[in-house]
Structure formats: C-alpha cells, structure tokens
Structure 1
C-alpha cells in the first residue's frame, strides 16, 4: 500500500512541477540507514549547483514542512533528525528546485530504527534462531521469513552468502521485527565476523605464562608470524565471535591478546589468523587453554619408587583423589606433560587414581610436576592442583657415604646428626627420606682431609624422624645429582608397648667355632623383630616373626662364631605399618666368644721357639761336623804304630748345653751324624732310633751312664716334645772295612762317639734330672 501511494504521488508532483530534464537527486543518510534509537541521523540530498531549495519527504509527505537552503556550493542539502525514535523510521525521498522548475524525486531511502524492547533479542551463528522475522545486515542486507522449529521451539531463518574469497572480511548481525511495523527492529544480535583463511604461511600461537591458568589470573596469548602483518585475529573454537582483532598501525610480526582475569568461559581451544595485502594466512596450530581451580576437591601426586630417580631407570607418578573425576592429567612447569589417564577406583583405599609411567628417565624429566582431575563434559576446566612434586635425576657421578655417630636406634629426644661425605669434591649435598616429596635438607660442603662432607642435624628425634635416608652430592655447575648413597635406617624406640625378650642358645659364653642361636620372643603380636649389636657398624638385623603356640618369635643362627661376634645384643618389636618405630629394648644379652685369641698366640709362640731351637742345633751340628772332619784328616797322616787302638763306644749326651769331650778321647776313623726331631713318648727310644739296630757295647762307666739315661726317661710318664741332634763318630782299624762276623758278639774294635742335643717344646716340663 505504501509503495502504491508513493508512485501516485510522484505522478501528481511530476504533473505539477515543470520538469525541464533536470537530473534526479541522490539521497544518502549518515551514519547508516539502520540506526539505534536516540541516534542523530543526517540526510544528504545531492542535486545541482543551480538548485534554489531542497525538500525532504517521508512516506510522500513533506517532512514537517521543512525546506533547506542549499549550502555552498549549492549542490546538496542536509536534513538532521536528532535522537530518532521508531516513529521516524520509514521511506524518505528528496527533490530540488531550479529556475526551470522541480526535479524528479530521488530514489527511496529506507531508515530503520532498532532497539525496540517489544521484540526479543535474537542470536546469530551459522543459523539465526529467534522469534520473529530475521534480517541480516549488509553486506548484503536481506530479509527472510522465519520458520518455526518444533524440536527446540524456536524460529529461524537461513541466509546464503557468497561466493567468498580470502580477501574479504564480513561482519553480520541479525534482527527480528513484526510485520505490522516492518521498519521497527529489535536489538541487534552479537556481531558475527566471517574470515576465510587462505594459503599463506600459518602463524604460531602460545600462551604466557602458561596454557594451564588458575581461575582469576591473567594470561596473554601471542600470535606471531615471520612476515609483518597488518591484522591479527584470535578465535576460540565454538565461539560465535572472535576473542580479539589487532589492526597494527605499523605492520609487525606479532600481536598480543590479553585476558586480565580468566574465567570458565575462557577455557577452550584457540587459533589465530594473519591478514596482509596478500590475503589471509592459514590458521595456526591449536592452543589449548585450561582453567584450573574450578573444582575444590584436591588431588595428591607421589613418585614411585621415589622422586629421586637414577638416570636410565623407570619411574611412575601416581595421582590420587577422593573425588570421582573421570580423568587425571599431569603437568610440568604449567604445561600438559602426558596424555590424560582414565581414573580407576581402588577399593582398598576407597579413592580414585591414575598411573603415569615414564620409561628410562633422562635429565629432561627433572622439574616440578602437578596433577589435576576433570570431567569428560568439561575437559578444559580442571580441579585445584596437587602439591608440587619435584623430580630429581641422580646417578651421573660417584655415590657418597652416609653415616651417623649416634647409632641407628635412638630413644626419643636424643640428638641425631647424619653426615654425608665423599672423596669427590662435591659443592653441595642433599638428604632424602624415603616416602618424602622432596629432599629433607640441603647442606653446604666443607672439606676435611681431602674429603668433602656435610652434616645434617635432625635432633631432637621423634617418631617422625624414623625412616630410611639417603644422601646425594652435586656440583654447582650441574643440576644433576650423584648416585645415591647406601640406605641408612633410623629407628626410634618407645613407640610400641611391651618389650620383647632375648635369649641365647646354648650359652652366652661359647668357644670359637661353636654354633650360637639368638632368640627374640614376645607374647604380643609382632610383625618383625629388630636385633642389634651395641657399637656395630652394620645395619640391625630384621627378623620376620613367626607365631609359635601363644607367642611370637624369631631366631638368628650363627655358625662357627668368632670373637668378632662378642658383644651386647638387644631385641625390639616392630610392626609392618610403621617399620621404623620400635618398642623399648629387651634386657641386654652379653655374648662372649673365647679361646681363639689365646690358643693362636700360644701356638704361634711355640712354633717360633721350635724353629729357633732347630736352627741353633743345626748350626752346632754343622760346626762339630766340620771340626771332626778336619781332625780326622789331620790324624790320618800319623803312622799306624802311633795310633792307639781303641775299642768300645762312647756317646755324648747334650741337653740344653753341649758337653765338651776331653781332648784325649777325640775319636778317630769314620765319622757320621744324624739329626732328627721327634715327639717322644719315652726317652729310651732315642738311642735305638739313632743306632739303627747296631749292637752297642759299653765299657767302664759308659754303660752306667746309658742306664742312668734310660732310668731318667722311664721316670717321665708324660709325653714331651723334644728336638734333638745325635752325633755318632765311629773309628775303625785301618785296613778293616768291617768287623769280622766271628767277632759279632765280642767287643768291636771300632770306636764310636754319640752326641744328643735335646730341646724341650713349650708346654712340656722336663724332670730335674733332665735339667
């Protein structure tokens, strides 16, 4: 109806005004033909220089009867409407007048006023869904009748745009209106900007300080490209608008998008784009921005077997929570470290957990780790973090030693100092307690006698002090720690009631080489007995308890004991749930191993004396032998008739001193000697062993001397250790090789000298006659 009326009006006016072929004016409006209510609108009607006046018409009527005198250069006129309202929306036209008459009317200009509260606010995405008629904003501007969707009880209208190119930037809004007032529109939807990425090099994207951000903190997202760029755009996946657009006054190769306070809405995946005169770039890789602290149920993170891991070994990080999160995730230095793991419910601890395995750790794995929990429907919203867990890598240099001068079993309140030392010149040391989240103490080294060491004071001790300790060394220029020292267990007594008892079998005093058994017993439940020796440098023995009848016991058997095992022993009770907390000690048991030191000393002393005796005897024998040989050679030169005939046998007995024979009894003839050491039962065995079965004849007092020797030997019933030397000298007639057989029973013409040197072994007591 409006368009018909306008057409008739134009025909009437054309007949009234003398139209002398004047050009049709052009009508425009500023700032836009679709304006928000209360906005000032200015119409511009452009005609010719010879125009005398311009008139603005609305809906075929002169607008408030106003005319505008053309401004210089008189080819246009302005018509302003301050603070438009929906009543001023409509169709506008303008003509101009010259001395030749009136021109044609300009083309109609439609003024739309938005912001009408009677219409509900629509939304715009790939679909525009809201109640009423939807209209898109140029470019291009179009109208579409709506369609009711029963599934979601909404109205929608679909618009097709294109063809599109990467050089275009289009921003769209949609409105709703009523057919009864087609130029009165609702509030606009949020703008929807369409970007069409091209084939230029994609930029890089990163977050500072990290991509895992605590709720309420600030974060900056950087978009960077190797070439200078005029426009940077940051887009969040699933969002209906871009997070930000940066138009650089001077082309630069990076842009910063700041979020001063992160909320749940900021969690998600981001990409950025770059635009230059050559067009749009490809999208960057995806940046995953995670917001933590959304859920208050904490998690805990532990390292298995410990947070100090030897280079090349395997490590497992365990994340645990009472909350039934769908997944757990692990971060290092604010970045996601490993893929998330599904949680598993563990009935024994009534908690949920996930295990993260790391094979063959390297120095790159050292650092601070945390774990979080989250639900599958909100993967970018995480719980509050666990406490930080510091991972240290060791084993890259020689291990130090860990010791204590106060012993490993201490009463509460006692002072304890652990000393870590090494012959490697380490600059610093660290002490770690098994089960801890990090090093217990750090120590500055000092040097003593070429060794570097550090003291760690832990006293006065309490139940929390008990545990297993290790220490590590490091150089200032390196962040890697040495290999671990051997473990040192510290036990705290008095933490369990009822002391056990300790006994020793067969006796507390035994001889070296005997078998000994130490028995710990208790009438109260015991998982493990701890058996210690006072002053021992080695670790106390851990004895697994066995239930026997109505008590618990454990025994330590020692075979072939030595004097080193002598000492004071004590026994303690322990439970597996707290293996380093002990009961008070049992009564002490003193074990004495005797005999070994005295016996060995006596034997050694005896052997040395025997060796000395044999050596002296041999030297004396050698001296006598040489003397006699020289003597015999000298006498062989004498005449036969000058050599007195000698018969009989003469034996010389030497005990502790050598008895010199008279000079006139020097033997002649063949000389022989026998040296022999023997342990004799009877002294009378000496002479038969020497004479080798020969018949010995005695003369005068010689036989009596021999009889006296036999009687002295018979008086001694106890065996004696004797080392002796026997020297026999036989003198034969010249020319006679052997005594004739007929004279076997008679006195031999040969002369024999016999000498015996006796040395009594230690421990034997000679008789007075022997002395």
Structure 2
C-alpha cells in the first residue's frame, strides 16, 4: 500500500522542460548552459546523460525556484549525447523531461555546400543542394538555420572521379517571405551526435516584389589586375540583410547586415583576379520579404594581358561640337578585339582588330558622331581575346578629348620663323581679339595640352606666351592653339596650324644651285635645283627674311642622286633674296637636315639694251633748224688750254665740211616731196615731235602714201601694263 501511494504521488508532478543555450548543435570549446524548468517549491534539480558513461548534475536550491541552470565550459566530443532532467519537491520526484540531443561539431573536416544551378530561386520553386565531403562518412545531414529549424539526412554516394562522398538534397517550395539558410555536416553511424565542422552557410534568395536596390562600384567597373574594388548595395531603410550574387556562380558572393552602414551594405574585394570578373546583382531582405534584383553591374579586369595598346585621335584630341571624331587603337601584339572606354562612365565601344601588312600592327578605328559636350572626357583602349572577353590587356595611356565650339579662332605666331636651328629657346604666342581667359597649346600627335592664363593688352587683345624650352628633335611638329572662357567647358575653334621644323637633325647637307644664273631680269625664268647623294623623301626650299618662301618638293632619284627642281616663270623683284635647301624624311617630316650653302637671287631693274628702238635715218624735215653759233656761247679762253682749243677747232672744221653735203641731201628730198604738198604741213608738225627714251619704234613716214599717213597721225607711247595711243588732243 505504501509503494502504491508513492507512485501515485510521483505521477502527479508535471514533467519539467529541458533547454540548452546557445544551441543544441555547438562547436567544440563552446560554453553550454542547460536550463531545467520545473515548478515553484522545487528543492532539487538534476540533469543526467544516458550513454555508456553515465553523467549526472545535481543542484540543491536554498530557495524555492522553478528553474535551475547547469553550465559546461568548453564542450568536448564526450559531452555529446542525450540529456534529460528531473526535479524534487516535498511531494516527491517528477517525471524526467523529454530527451534533448546535444551535438558537438568539429570532429572532422567540414564539407562543402552548394546549390545547383544558382542560389537565386524562383518564387514557389524547389532548390537542389549538394553536400560534398572529402572524408569518409556514413551520413550527410542538411540543416536549415533560423526560427523554422529543419533537417534532412541522407546516406552519401561515393563519387569515384573526385574521390568524394556526396548527397543531393531537394528542398522547397521556396517563398520570398522568409530566409532560407542552410549548412551541412558529416558524421559516422556509431557516433551520431559527433559531427564534422559545419559547411559555409548557404543562403537561397527569392527575387521578390519589393523595390530593387541600387548597385555601384568604386572606383569603377574596369579594375586593374590585383587592385581592390568596393561594391555598394543601397536599398530600404528597414532592410535587415543584403546579398551580392555573381551570375553563374553556385553560391552568393557576399552577405552583409545593415548594422554598420544603415540603408546600404559594403562588399569589399581586396585583390581582383580573373575569378572576380563577371556580372553582379544585389538584393535586400526586410521583414516583408525579399526585394527585386538590382540592375546588373559588370566587373572587368585590365592588365591581365601584358601588351599595352596605343590610343590616338586621328584629327587631334580636340573635336568640333556637332562634328565627328575618329579614334584609333593600335598594338604590335595580336588581339581579337579592341575596346574603347570613357573614364568613370558606363561607355564602351568594341571592334574586331585588323592586321595592317605595311607595319605589321593590329588596329581598330572608331568613328563617333555627332560630337556632343558629353565626349569631353578621358578615353582608354584595351585589347582582349574572344574566349576571355572580360580579361583585358593593360590599358593604353589616357587620351583626353576636348570639345571646341564655334567662337572665333585665335592666331598662333612665332617670331623665330618656321625653320629653326637647334639650341635656342622657342616661344609661341596665341592671341585673339576675343576676351579669352585661358589658352591651350597642342602639338599634333601628343595627347596632352599646355595651358596658360590669358593676359589682356592695352590694344584690347588677349594672349598667352608658351615657351617650349631648348629647340631639339622633340620641338619639331605641328601646333595649334585654342581659347576658352572660364565659365565654359567648350574651347574656341582651332587656330590655323603652325609647322615648326628643326634643322641639323639628319646627318647630311643637300646642295642648292640655280639656273641659268643668280642675277636675272624681270620676266625671265629661274630654276632651283636641290640634290643630295643621301636618300631623302622631301626637299624644302626656303627663302630667308620677312617675306619668306617655303616650298616642299618631292624627291626623285635621277642621275645617281636624289633631286628636285622648282621652276619659276616670269620672275619679279619679289623673288630677290637668300635661299637655302633642306632635306627631310617621310617618317619625320619636321626634322630637317643641315641647310645648304646659301644662294642669293638678284632681280635687276636695269633697262635691257634690246629694249631700245633700232636706229633709222631721219628725213631732212626731221632736223631742227640750225642756228648760227654766237661767240658769246663759247667759253672764255684761258692760258694752259691750248690742247683743248686745238681739239675744239678740229671738230668745228669737220662739222663745217660735212654741212654742205648734208644740206644737198635735204634739198634733194624736198624736191621729191614737192608733189605731196597736201600733207606737208602735217609732216612739218611731226618733225617737231621728239621720241622719248624707250619708245616704240617710229614708223618710216617717207614710205607711206598720203592716206596711210592721215590714218596714223600719232606716236605710240608704251605705258607699263598696257599700250595707248595719244594725238595731243584725245586718247585714240
């Protein structure tokens, strides 16, 4: 009877509840606390573990409590097993609690957990998870983390190709209203509470209906090989979690909480390699579920391929607004494709490369139009192969493109001439009557500019002087300048080009000669001949001085030398001056040889003897009447002039002897022309006309009939550039 009453009392006490913190599955060396909850008035609690080695923990309470705690510091494998607890009161001992299983992990190497094909799951779909262990095991277990704990256990299959034990777990249906977080372990059948280390956590993401977050990369999406990049994902203020996914990857690339950055999360990659290239999307999770995926962010790695291409603008790095721009990417190394990108912006243009047989290079030409202010940026180009399109070569040097507007072009001047000897400093001046606050100087073929602030002169001009340093081979080239206002990002139109050539850069000197001679008369022809025994592509004929002449002549191989001729027909006085000849090569047109010995051309303004009219005898009527010589017209006689007087007398005697004969000829002519009395008066007037120096040849009047003489009643007078006829009263 006593035993029956005791059992009856024992059965009336409620069963206690046994719990464990932090979890029933813990890693080795973790501190674990068991909590046994009974009823008020309990004086004694005990916890026992049922296995081959019986373990019991007893706690005696000084005060009545309904809960007792038992702690084990640094859990080890032997602590794993089934636990239950009981309590005692004045009325007797309670039933034991339900058994609680304590699992200790870390006994074996961790397996890996992945999802096929992607951790991004469609709403309501199922997911297939693969647990893979490299160590021999008898069970693989998949556990679901979070408030809704679940587990799946499978016997593994041995994969002989990779010598691993694997199991495929199918879970679902997956919804967007909760988190789906998993781990997997391995264990042996004779030690079911001792597991391996847990796999890395695997989170499944369901693209929901909440607004998509914003994704961006710093410093950009084109990242140098082995440099760092930060990917930011910004979503809602109430976001609890952000995840980053790389498309095609069997797992998420990152999971971050919002504790540190609030409404955004930071995903940092310290060293970008080929495994990081690809397209990324991010998601955020709130208490309402998952968001839509963000826009796609593509990460590209440069510098993976070592050969560096070159980028240039064919018409120079300044493009006219509304016009066109042509960029050329060139490499000595073969690439399948070239791509041009704009710094800090999502812009790219790619073209297949072409092989150029003349120089053995690979290149692609990019034409862009119409040019807008958005093209004012730095551009780079890279090469890559089609089978690895996100792994690019080393980037070219940056090419900065400027946009020129329609404002008035400035002038570019030099006070030294366009052909310069080496050694001295060169200064170029850019000036304009526009009030430009800045000026830019650019040399053709270079990617950078020289900038100077504008200065205002008293004459109302704005200008800037650019001193380029000592003249040498690097100074030669074609220059342009531009003006700009402080408040505008556009430049002016380009100045006219200015070619600067430097002499003494080729190790030979050409020869200059002139035909027929260096002294010529106006209207004659002159031929300049430049020649050299050294191979050359071009000869440059240069006239020194203010009104200089610069003529480029194509070289031809003839008579065992390289030569070129320049013929000038009908020279004028402007041709006078000192000339030299220089040589240049096609590959470096602004680098010249030494100058030839100077040849000076003189255009003489003297009247040629052949321009005087030929002498013809004149009729008697053409002579002026003779006047008797007066004694007063003779110079006074002075002593010592005897020899001079004798010479004078001899001349006088000779004239006196010739005079009767000359008079007879005149009388004879007068008799013959007696019948021409009608025109005698006009003929007499004609004898009074005098022929000016350099006049045209007079017409022989004696050989003309009366009618012809009436028609030709005036002398022709030559006027420079034209011929006119005058008769004393009107112009004929």
On whether the aligned pair clears a TM of 0.5, the verdict is yes
Match of 2:200 in 1: 190
Q: 2:400 aligns with which of 342, 366, 390?
A: 390
**Paired residue secondary structure (2:494):** coil
Deviations 1:86-133 (A, max 9, x none): 12211222333445554433322211110014x454344442222433
- State the 1:374 CA deviation: 4.8
Q: 1:486 aligns with which of 493, 496, 510?
A: 496
Larger-gyration structure (1/2):
1
Q: Equivalent residues in 2 for 1:429-444 (5 A)?
A: 429-440=439-450, 442=452, 444=454
Q: 2:580 aligns with which of 558, 570, 573?
A: 570
- State the 1:707 CA deviation: 13
Unpaired segments of 5 or more residues in structure 2?
Answer: 1-5, 116-128, 613-623, 626-665, 699-712, 720-732
Match of 1:137 in 2: 143
Q: Are 1:421 and 2:431 matched, yes or no?
A: yes
Match of 1:502 in 2: 512
- State the 1:33 CA deviation: 0.9
CA distance in 1, matches of 2:327, 2:691: 85
- State the 1:401 CA deviation: 1.6
Q: Does the 8 A contact of 2:41 with 2:64 survive in 1?
A: no
4+ residue segments displaced more than 6 Å: 15-18, 596-599, 710-723, 757-763
Q: Does the 8 A contact of 1:193 with 1:242 survive in 2?
A: no
- State the 1:150 CA deviation: 3.8
CA distance in 2, matches of 1:301, 1:718: 72
Q: TM-score, normalised by structure 1?
A: 0.71
What's the C-alpha RMSD, in Å, of the aligned pairs?
4.3
Deviations 1:51-110 (A, max 9, x none): 443332322679434323358653333332222211221122233344555443332221
- State the 1:405 CA deviation: 1.8
Match of 1:753 in 2: none
Match of 1:261 in 2: 270
Q: Are 1:403 and 2:394 matched, yes or no?
A: no
Q: Does the 8 A contact of 2:141 with 2:152 survive in 1?
A: yes
- State the 1:339 CA deviation: 3.6
- State the 1:403 CA deviation: 2.1
Q: Does the 8 A contact of 2:49 with 2:56 survive in 1?
A: no
Q: 2:552 aligns with which of 533, 542, 550?
A: 542
Q: Equivalent residues in 2 for 1:51-450 (5 A)?
A: 51-59=42-50, 63-69=54-60, 74-98=65-89, 101-117=92-108, 119=109, 121-125=111-115, 126-131=129-134, 132=137, 133-138=139-144, 139-214=149-224, 219-225=229-235, 228-237=237-246, 238=249, 240-247=251-258, 254-257=263-266, 259=268, 261-264=270-273, 267-294=277-304, 297-322=307-332, 324=334, 327-343=337-353, 346=356, 349-374=359-384, 380=390, 382-440=392-450, 442=452, 444-450=454-460
Deviations 1:471-516 (A, max 9, x none): 1111222222211111111111122233222233344333333333
Q: Does the 8 A contact of 1:396 with 1:480 survive in 2?
A: no
Structure 1 window deviating more from structure 2 (186-195 vs 514-523): it is: 514-523
CA distance in 2, matches of 1:511, 1:420: 41
Match of 2:484 in 1: 474
Q: 1:525 aligns with which of 517, 521, 535?
A: 535
CA distance in 1, matches of 2:43, 2:682: 184
* Residues 722 and 90 of structure 1: CA distance in aligned 2, closer, same or farther (over 3 Å): closer
Structure 1 window deviating more from structure 2 (178-187 vs 284-293): it is: 284-293
* Residues 393 and 695 of structure 1: CA distance in aligned 2, closer, same or farther (over 3 Å): closer
Structure 1 window deviating more from structure 2 (407-416 vs 588-597): it is: 588-597
**Paired residue secondary structure (2:474):** helix
Q: TM-score, normalised by structure 2?
A: 0.75
Structure 1 window deviating more from structure 2 (58-67 vs 174-183): it is: 58-67
- State the 1:341 CA deviation: 4.2
CA distance in 2, matches of 1:272, 1:346: 44
- State the 1:544 CA deviation: 0.8
- State the 1:292 CA deviation: 4.5
Q: Does the 8 A contact of 1:218 with 1:258 survive in 2?
A: no
**Paired residue secondary structure (1:159):** strand
* Residues 268 and 538 of structure 1: CA distance in aligned 2, closer, same or farther (over 3 Å): farther
**Paired residue secondary structure (2:65):** coil
* Residues 60 and 458 of structure 1: CA distance in aligned 2, closer, same or farther (over 3 Å): closer
CA distance in 1, matches of 2:266, 2:683: 127
Structure 1 window deviating more from structure 2 (76-85 vs 465-474): it is: 76-85
- State the 1:201 CA deviation: 1.5
Q: Are 1:32 and 2:23 matched, yes or no?
A: yes
CA distance in 1, matches of 2:358, 2:715: 83
Q: Does the 8 A contact of 1:70 with 1:76 survive in 2?
A: no
* Residues 570 and 268 of structure 1: CA distance in aligned 2, closer, same or farther (over 3 Å): same
Deviations 1:654-690 (A, max 9, x none): 99xxxxxxxxxxxxxxxxxxxxxxxxxx9x999xx9x
Deviations 1:390-420 (A, max 9, x none): 1112243111222222111111113322222
Unpaired segments of 5 or more residues in structure 1?
Answer: 1-14, 603-653, 656-681, 697-705, 724-756, 764-771
**Paired residue secondary structure (1:364):** helix
